[in-house]
């Protein structure tokens, strides 16, 4: 009896893990930032895991922050009705909103891409101390997905219980990486001469 109860409890506690819904934002920096390339493009992607049926991204409302630097040049890739690049204030973007229409009864179907590219922003700095600049979307208010086919149960908001805040980094180095590679043989030769 005890063994049966233990097995039953193990099954009960393992089922939710198999059926877990989860959504997040992926934040991708296009390049390392150096004095000769002081700008990088940040891509915001939405990705989610929902078992059993196919779902599409509907909309997401988020803030994007960096620990320093300045955002500029906003561009919405997923630009359905109501979408907004948000308000940029230095190293913070508030109220960014990206979405697409998905209304199967009207014959409107959204892209099934997962992950799906939502928006891009440029980020720049004048401080070239070597460091990693953290990015995050911890202030998110919506991450909505829809079932792909009819019957459509309507929007399913994964925020907050089934959402993980997005994070990423920008790498800043004081000199271009190519210069470091070119300088290594010179450093090695100088050491050999000293010996």
Q: Which two three-digit tokens encode residue 5?
A: 């109860």
Q: What is the pTM of this model?
A: 0.79
Beta strand 55-66 with 131-136 is antiparallel
What pLDDT is recorded for position 148?
86
Alpha carbon distances (Å) from 188 to 173, 181, 183, 193: 21, 12, 9, 9
CA-to-CA distance for 108 and 56, rounded, in angstroms? 12
- Say if 4 falls within a structural domain: no
Instruction: Write the pLDDT tens digit of every residue in 96-148.
Output: 999 999 988 888 999 999 999 999 999 999 999 999 999 999 899 999 999 88
Percent of the chain predicted with pLDDT > 90: 67
* φ, ψ at 194 (rounded to 5°): -65, -35
Supply the CATH number for residue 29's domain: 2.60.40
- Say if 3 falls within a structural domain: no
- Say if 11 falls within a structural domain: no
What pLDDT is recorded for position 17?
38
How many folded domains does the chain comprise? 1
**For residue 105, what are the domain limits?**
21-194
- Say if 118 falls within a structural domain: yes
Instruction: Write the pLDDT tens digit of every residue in 22-40.
Output: 999 999 999 999 999 999 9
CA-to-CA distance for 146 and 157, rounded, in angstroms? 9
- Say if 1 falls within a structural domain: no
- Say if 15 falls within a structural domain: no
Contact yes or no for 76/85 (Cβ under 8 A)? yes
Contact yes or no for 84/112 (Cβ under 8 A)? no
**Selection from 120, 34, 13, 33 nearest residue 76 by Cα:** 120
Instruction: Write the pLDDT tens digit of every residue in 37-72.
Output: 999 999 999 999 987 778 999 999 999 999 999 999
């Amino acid at each position: 009896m005890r063994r049966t109860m233990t097995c039953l409890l193990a099954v009960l506690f393992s089922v939710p893990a198999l059926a877990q819904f989860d959504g997040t934002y992926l934040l991708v920096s296009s390049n390392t930032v150096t004095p000769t390339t002081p700008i990088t493009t940040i891509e915001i992607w939405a990705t989610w895991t929902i078992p059993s049926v196919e779902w599409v991204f509907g909309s997401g409302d988020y803030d994007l922050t960096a620990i320093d630097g300045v955002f500029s040049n906003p561009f919405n890739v997923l630009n359905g009705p109501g979408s907004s690049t948000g308000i940029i204030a230095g190293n913070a973007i508030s109220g960014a909103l990206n979405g697409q229409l998905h209304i199967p009864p009207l014959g409107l179907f959204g892209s099934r891409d997962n992950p799906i590219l939502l928006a891009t922003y440029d980020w720049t700095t004048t401080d070239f101390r070597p460091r990693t600049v953290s990015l995050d979307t911890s202030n998110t208010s919506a991450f909505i997905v829809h079932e792909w086919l009819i019957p459509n149960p309507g929007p399913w908001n994964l925020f907050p219980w089934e959402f993980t805040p997005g994070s990423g980094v920008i790498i800043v180095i004081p000199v271009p990486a190519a210069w470091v590679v070119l300088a290594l043989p010179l450093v090695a030769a100088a050491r050999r001469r000293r010996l």
